[in-house]
Structure 1
């Protein structure tokens, strides 16, 4: 059984969904520390030919809190974010199909950061017909005081995984022999370049999945993008 474990990200780029697609089971961390300046509550969209950051504002809280202990700000204006996306993509070829998917995620009536972002990920997976099983990390009966590689290995063993698949960025973090010692094969997803037409202008790569579904049909993404990676 192939397993991947990742933090939740808000409307992440296509590589995140390639990783989900590559495995049988995908564990999403909810009980690890929220990190500033990452992609948990922000991403990039295309506006006027340039990449622009969009963000989920958070309620002020101590830096020590886990993702599942953080909340969206009471000032978060869902309509404002939807209007930004509407303005940026209203002329995109698959706007009428894609915008309701984004709207469902953004109007999700839960202010818990983890729940909100997790719902957006599963909503995109439903739209793209990705059948991978999801598990929330805190639901796994392991020692949750473990950190880093030790926690990953514990989750792999609890899930009875024989292959652990990680994003390519982890290739310097995890030694294959540490996993092999537990009879787990370590693999990394290496995404191939994905390019598509964005209003006929110069292509801006690795934007949010929101951009991908605006310019490509669900079928095109399934057939031509989700499998565009190597396991190395």
Structure 2
């Protein structure tokens, strides 16, 4: 069984979902330190004026907490983000379908915790995109203190035989890759892309923006064709 373990991000880019799609079992690792100015509470959108950040304001007292403990400053940002996405993509071909999707996230819920919001969005997008990977939350597992032992422990608890990691996580594994083979777990580094391009209605195609961009331009039935690596 292939396992992916990763921190939850806010409306992640397509590569995040490509990684999820490769796995049989995906575990949100939100019982770790929140990192400031990272992907946990922000991501990029692409408008006619270029790429810009959409950032969730977090409670300043949450900076030194686990991701799962980070609280949000208030609820006002929700309507602001909703309106910003609407303004950015109102002329996109899939807008009328995705508007209801966004209303559920931003207008029908009030989010107190960043982790709850991120996980809800990610699982909702996976369901919409027909990704059938099983999900779990690291808070429901017995966790080791060492970062690599923690990953291995989760993999073993779910009966995993392969661990898929983004190539950027080599630094996170900190030269301890041999621990996986010692525990009969095959370590695989994911190569992102190349990805099939779609018409963004802008001069230069941008891959590294939120999945929201893809949803706005690609019909639901074709989503997987554009978020799964072509190699």
The TM-score normalised by the length of structure 1 is 0.91
- Post-superposition Cα deviations, 1:123-155, rounded to whole Å, max 9, x if no partner, equal 111111111111000101233xx1321211111
Contact 1:34 1:65 in 2 (8 A): yes
Aligned length: 227
Tell me by how many angstroms 1:101 deviates: 1.7
Contact 1:166 1:189 in 2 (8 A): yes
Q: CA RMSD in A?
A: 1.7
Contact 2:26 2:135 in 1 (8 A): yes
Contact 2:2 2:163 in 1 (8 A): yes
Number of the residue aligned with 1:216: 218
Number of the residue aligned with 1:46: 46
Q: State how far apart, in whole Å, the 1-side matches of 2:13 and 2:64 are.
A: 27
Tell me by how many angstroms 1:229 deviates: 5.6
Number of the residue aligned with 1:99: 99
The TM-score normalised by the length of structure 2 is 0.92
Q: Secondary structure at the match of 2:39?
A: coil
Contact 1:44 1:53 in 2 (8 A): yes
Number of the residue aligned with 1:72: 72
Contact 2:42 2:56 in 1 (8 A): yes
Number of the residue aligned with 1:136: 137
Cα 1:178–1:128, aligned 2, differ >3 Å: closer, same or farther? Answer: same
Tell me by how many angstroms 1:75 deviates: 5.3
- Post-superposition Cα deviations, 1:188-213, rounded to whole Å, max 9, x if no partner, equal 22111222211142212210000111
Q: Secondary structure at the match of 1:83?
A: helix
Contact 1:71 1:111 in 2 (8 A): yes
Matches within 5 A, 1:58-207: 58-74=58-74, 76-107=76-107, 108-143=109-144, 146-174=145-173, 175-194=176-195, 195-207=197-209
Contact 1:21 1:226 in 2 (8 A): no
Q: State how far apart, in whole Å, the 2-side matches of 1:188 and 1:66 are.
A: 26
Q: State how far apart, in whole Å, the 2-side matches of 1:184 and 1:57 are.
A: 39
- Post-superposition Cα deviations, 1:145-174, rounded to whole Å, max 9, x if no partner, equal x13212111111112110001112123543
Cα 1:221–1:62, aligned 2, differ >3 Å: closer, same or farther? Answer: closer
Q: State how far apart, in whole Å, the 2-side matches of 1:6 and 1:187 are.
A: 14
Number of the residue aligned with 2:15: 15
Tell me by how many angstroms 1:57 deviates: 0.8
